Structure 1
């Protein structure tokens, strides 16, 4: 076993398959590296990658350099190489992400109408959350977040949901993407905050971007309990219409997230 890669691993590389009619050695080499790193928790050194793939360090280094420059692989301060989350990001541009948005829009509209508040759906992408769907409040007053807006993982309700329900390995990579962000402020006892979010199943916190706004966020799950997104209401205190308490907004938001999750599991 090398760095967590077991003998008998069923990955197939180009040199294993004699049936290939059209060879693309450079592409195969890059894919071999990505597939190798996908099964490693703590990264591998150049020498370990070369040994695992039975290639020279020179040819592996050239390929790694390109993968690092294209942000598919991260080079750590200890000179080890880890898979980034760029492939995860690309996957969210695939039709399944469009299906998630289409499944979410009706429950989100029903929430906005009943709660008289706006809401938005956020997924993870390369060190941030990204808003992929948004519904306005039904009248003049509400806080809207544009689709495509990047959401900070560290100081938002959506970010805390995305981090809290990630695996330990995913969370480490997600936070690693933010380590070099200029002027980043990391909250104290982040692990405790995220553990508390997981325990209660939601996040409710004053907005750090707009005064008088409380962000209420809940998770949306897919098949097998896998987190798909965070559903968030930037709640403002209304004086007209049917004012809803924070607890009532939370319950309505949870019902909406449950509807989206149920639809995602059967579609």
Structure 2
């Protein structure tokens, strides 16, 4: 069997896969030299491979041009096939179960080339509610989803995210000092709870979802609306706990753990 394996090896393909697997463990990205050193390859052969992967959209180059990280193309492809497609399929019933208990909608957002994109959503029960459609692009600094996705990244990653970000519809120009204050507060408490910067009467509740390497993979958000009629629904504090618990469940579903939670 070993002779057969050696006979049918594809060295170029293996080098490309080695790069993808390496970058998958370094969410902050790596330089070409760091990739070459980690894989014990020459910079020239790594350059050719990285250039091809960038051209095909599997790797993103940072704005400064000196670092490389995986794009969301693998995620996009996996939507058509397991395992990530199965993860979202498994997440949606859990999200719907929470919306039925909370009488609120919720959605999952991820970052793609600086855009904050809703990748899954569950509507609240009843005759009316506030829900975002899958595929919606929302703001980075004026939404709970965007802030949470930024808060649990390194300073360099936040710089890179801001450099790539294109303002969403209605999103005001970013105030970096104010944004940094928000991120520090979110990191200290582990989530975002903010009045909506888009709609009156809505409170954004958002918690991080972490991947296997401890990197923030997605954000679970609930645009909480308060009822003023006689119908009794869970309080905002109770809904916050529900979203918190669901985010932990989805982190486990991704095979991850929350490195910012005490005792983890």
**How far apart, in 1, do the equivalents of 2:145 and 2:232 lie?**
26
Which residue in 2 is equivalent to 1:175?
Answer: 162
Structure 2 match to 1:200: 189
Q: Deviation of residue 102 (structure 1)? A: 3.0
For 2:250, the equivalent position in structure 1 comes to 260
Cα deviation, residue 213, structure 1: 1.8
TM-score (norm 2): 0.69
Give the match for residue 138 of structure 2: 151
* Cα distance change, pair 62–157 in 1 and its aligned pair in 2 (3 A): same
Aligned-pair CA distance for 1:117: 1.1
Indicate the RMSD between aligned Cα atoms, in angstroms.
4.2
Q: CA deviation at 1:157?
A: 0.4
2:228 alignment partner in structure 1: 239
Out of 207, 215, 219, the position equivalent to 2:204 is 215
Higher radius of gyration, 1 or 2: 1
How much does 1:233 deviate? 0.9
Q: What are the residue-to-residue correspondences of 1:80-159 with 2, within 5 Å?
A: 80=66, 82-83=68-69, 85-86=71-72, 89-90=75-76, 93=79, 95-159=82-146
Whether the 8 Å CA contact 1:85–1:173 is kept in 2: the answer is: no
Counterpart of 2:117 in 1: which secondary structure? strand
Kindly state the Cα deviation for residue 66 of structure 1 after the two structures are TM-superposed.
4.8
Please tell me whether residue 250 in structure 1 is matched to residue 240 in structure 2. Answer: yes
The match for 1:164 is 151
Alignment deviations for residues 199-258 of structure 1 (CA, whole Å, 9 cap, x no partner): 111101222333322211112345565544221111112123114443232123223333
What is the distance in 1 between the residues matched to 2:50 and 2:214?
34
How far apart are the structure 1 equivalents of 2:249 and 2:211? 11
Listed as ranges, the gaps of 5+ residues in structure 2 are: 257-264
> Aligned-pair distance for 1:74?
5.1
What are the superposed Cα offsets for residues 30-79 of structure 1, whole Å, 9 maximum, x if unpaired?
6677678787966348xx99xx8547x6x887766554444445556766
| Mean CA deviation greater in 112-121 or 80-89 | 80-89
1:43 is matched with which residue? Answer: 31
Distance in 1 between the 2:173 and 2:115 partners?
Answer: 14
Tell me, yes or no, if the aligned pair for 2:32 and 2:46 is still in contact at 8 Å.
no
Q: Does 1:229 align with 2:218?
A: yes
- CA distance 1:255–1:119, change in 2 (3 Å): same
TM-score by length of 1: 0.68
Could you tell me which residue of structure 2 aligns to residue 188 of structure 1? 176
Q: Flag the 1:184–1:87 CA change in 2: closer, same or farther, 3 A.
A: farther
SS of the residue corresponding to residue 193 of structure 2 reads: strand
For 1:132, what is the secondary structure of its paired residue?
strand
Gaps of 5+ in 1: 1-18
Structure 2 distance, partners of 1:113, 1:129, is 26
